[in-house]
Amino acid sequence: MERERIETALREAGLALVPAGAEGAFAVEGDTFPHRELLKRHGARWSGSRRCWLFAFDGGGLAEAPAPFVGAAQARPHYHGHRERLRGRLREAGAPTLADYELLELLLFFSVHRRDTKPIAKAMLEHLGGLGGVLAAEPARYAEFMGTLPESAGPELREVRDDDLRFTQALLKAVQELLQRVLKEQLRERPAITSKEALRAYLKVAMEHEATEQFRLLFLDRKNILIRDEVQSRGTVDHTPLYPREVVKRALELGASALIMVHNHPSGDPTPSQADIETTRQVVAALAQVGIALHDHLIVGRAGQVSLRAAQLL
């Protein structure tokens, strides 16, 4: 039996299983710190509240995926072998050969430890709008994909689900920030106005999936190298205020010689409105009074990006 095999492995490491108070739950006794990888490999889960490693048993045998959640996150008995096969494909064939949902699965291996992550990854991509949408989503939305616990679920299973959510929130938000910083590095190394592809790639990650409008200002030095990237204001789903005097004030504080204005359209359509055009002209006039140039105003939407300068609206 699987349970007997695991108990044997734990005994050889000087560890033991003891009942943890809830039906099917067992805690690991002994010096577990040196054997953390062993415990993870066999499906144990660290309980932060109880400060111990836990196993869940189902009908006398170790439940390979012990969280009986329903919905998108329902457990799959085969997930251990599937994870190793997917890791093997990554090592042997490389990441470009994997589908979007498989890459997201791999990430979720690090935050969702004892359940099948394939249905979670697929549901996230479907409902959040692709990989960019998954990374940009509000952290609370990830709870939608962690599954629903039955009313009879005990505290251990509830803690497992809550841990899955917290770890997933931390992981995906860290990946989003890491990706933005990598792309921003390219803007700091080259003139922003001649690095259009790098700029567009950065703005796509940073703003394309924002649920509300925001104005972002890129402050440039005399060589058009990025000094500072700041969100100047946030608004509603279709409007955000921008005050030219505040733009000028901040540009002078940073010693900027030029700016690029950016804002997003949550509707997805980057077509500039008449208000966008008028705001741009007001900012150009205000900056001109202190000798600062506005190189462009970019509008970001899921359907693409529009340059007001390229459209001869600036």
* Each residue's pLDDT tens digit, 268-304: 899 999 999 999 999 999 999 999 999 999 999 988 9
Same domain for 200 and 138:
no
Same domain for 199 and 177:
no
Same domain for 3 and 39:
yes
3-state secondary structure of 98: coil
Region 69-89 average pLDDT? 62
Same domain for 76 and 161:
yes
Decide if 131 is inside a domain: yes
pLDDT band at 9 (very low <50, low <70, confident <90, very high): confident
Select from 80, 17, 95 the least CA-distant residue to 52.
17
Same domain for 152 and 114:
yes
Decide if 154 is inside a domain: yes
Percent of the chain with pLDDT over 90: 37
Q: Look at residue 40 in the predicted model and tell me its pLDDT.
A: 83
We report the CATH number of the domain holding residue 201 as: 3.40.140.10
Same domain for 158 and 49:
no
Decide if 314 is inside a domain: no
Q: Look at residue 70 in the predicted model and tell me its pLDDT.
A: 40
| Boundaries of domain holding 294 | 195-307
pLDDT band at 238 (very low <50, low <70, confident <90, very high): low
pLDDT over threshold 90, residue 308:
yes
Q: Look at residue 236 in the predicted model and tell me its pLDDT.
A: 67
Decide if 312 is inside a domain: no
Same domain for 169 and 55:
no
Q: Look at residue 73 in the predicted model and tell me its pLDDT.
A: 41
Decide if 28 is inside a domain: yes
Hey, how many other C-beta atoms are within 10 angstroms of the C-beta on 175? 15
Q: Look at residue 146 in the predicted model and tell me its pLDDT.
A: 87
pLDDT over threshold 70, residue 95:
yes
Decide if 132 is inside a domain: yes
Contact 43, 62 (CB under 8 A): yes
pLDDT band at 43 (very low <50, low <70, confident <90, very high): confident
Same domain for 299 and 214:
yes
Decide if 1 is inside a domain: yes
DSSP secondary structure string for all residues of 110-137: TT--SS--HHHHHHHHHHHTHHHHHHHS
CA end-to-end span of the chain = 73
* More confident call, 71 vs 228: 228
Same domain for 87 and 142:
yes
pLDDT band at 75 (very low <50, low <70, confident <90, very high): very low
Boundary of a domain, candidates 189, 217, 243 = 189
pLDDT over threshold 50, residue 68:
no
Same domain for 83 and 181:
yes
Same domain for 303 and 278:
yes
Q: Give alpha helix (H) positions in 190-273.
A: 196-207, 244-254
Same domain for 131 and 94:
yes
Rg (CA), the chain: 25
Boundary of a domain, candidates 189, 205, 239 = 189
Boundary of a domain, candidates 189, 214, 234 = 189
pLDDT over threshold 60, residue 23:
no
**Number of domains making up the chain:** 3
* Each residue's pLDDT tens digit, 113-141: 777 889 999 999 999 988 988 998 999 99
Decide if 147 is inside a domain: yes
Percent of the chain with pLDDT over 70: 86
